Structure 1
């Protein structure tokens, strides 16, 4: 069972507490409770080490997810390039200049579309 307490904080500390709660996606009360437990506990260093371990584990899980996403993206791109190189016929020598010009135009369009996509919040993977 939890009890209710009222206390006053300076505006600066209150703002820092609010920002930390938003960043960590927890309530301000949870942060205050954890800080008080750490301060009042005789084994505060062990609790702090456990908290750091949990945070490091969380970061490692996110890195593993990121690593997996990058690996999938790399494999997909490599497979596409291999398929494209296999399926696309060679351009005759007389048509090479116009093909290069058209290729540059299409590549520029691709780069512009990629820039728009990366600057927005919408992603294909979503």
Structure 2
């Protein structure tokens, strides 16, 4: 197999061959927690060995950082779009009428929806004073 072919292999269990990052060293990435009990703390993500042999006719082994490219957009920007996977992060209640529906209906399947919220249940808060 050529190097170009091996670098082009894209499977769900392997990160991309090349991903440019700003804050990393040769053997680890400096990471700051954004949420949770470790919020604001720094840690290192080391390079690991990744294996893939389920979908390929050969055994592939790469040593690389275990990260994948991801995108984030606001609920309003997502309106009218459909996505294969949707992660919804709600540190506080949704503030405008219909935003909960818009956010939850962006995924093509409920099995591909992940919700992270600080409250027990989702509440679509409407401030009638503003209307």
> TM-score range with shorter-chain normalisation?
under 0.3
More strand as a share of residues: 2
Compute the TM-score of the two structures, normalised by the length of structure 1.
0.19
More helix as a share of residues: 1
Larger Rg: 1
Which structure would you say has the larger RCO, counting Cα contacts within 8 Å and 6 or more residues apart? 2
